[in-house]
Amino acid sequence: MPDRDTPSPQVLTELPLFPLGTVLFPGALLPLQLFELRYLQMIGECERQGTGFGVVTLTQGREVHRPGQAAEQFEAMGTRVQIERIERPQPGLVMVWCRGVEKFRIEATQQRSDGLWLGRVQPLPPEPAVQVPEDLQHLSAQMHQALTQLSEQASVVPHWAEAWRLQDCSWLSHRWGELLPLPLQMKYRLFALQEPLMRLELVGDMVAPSDTTPPRPGQKPSTNP
């Protein structure tokens, strides 16, 4: 009988990796237009197997690989996504709507002959539920205004499919990280933090309580790698 005090081994999963010049927060919607062969094949495999893939933030290289360029390099943490909708408007072009599900840490990578990156990843545990403190309540109010406005815009897939958890530090800070027009390194810094209250406090340092202008999406509505 195994010792109950013995720590369980790491649960590692192999995921196709999609390096992008953005940071995808859990719960966020990511529309993609795909035309590179490696990603067309990836989406076909995900569709047949009913699986998702991982989005990672580029630190070197470009989203669209060109002959002679150095291989992509990317951050050690990323977000597993689930595919919510796929359209094929013409041959060689696939439009995909993905939803960020959970964060993971990359333990090892390899690149297939077609250029697709594969990662051995460890899912990170869900963040604890922490109530938004009184001194940061203005962030909840401003985000409610922003989400209300954005939800009124017509979209094939809703921006936020789940209930708004405006009093949860993790969910609220992820939405701020998603919408604030921050430099990529700052976005990743917020993303990589595992303490939701600390992340929200950092956001509070950037957003004045008297600011009545709601945040706007900080990334392009679609990525075209």
Residue 193 to residue 188: CA distance in whole angstroms: 9
Query: pLDDT averaged over the chain?
Result: 86
Distance CA 224, CA 36 (A): 10
User: Tens of pLDDT along 18-68?
Assistant: 999 999 999 999 999 999 999 999 999 999 999 999 999 999 877 777 766
Find, among 129, 153, 166, 161, the residue nearest to 216 by Cα.
153
**Residue with more model confidence, 150 or 105:** 105
Residue 4 has pLDDT above 90, yes or no: no
Residue 224 CA to residue 93 CA, distance in Å, equals 10
What would the pLDDT profile of 57-84 be if each residue is shown by its tens digit? 999 877 777 766 777 899 999 999 999 9
Say if strands 73-90 and 13-20 run parallel, antiparallel, or are unpaired.
unpaired
**Which of 74, 75, 94, 77 minimizes the C-alpha distance to 86?**
94
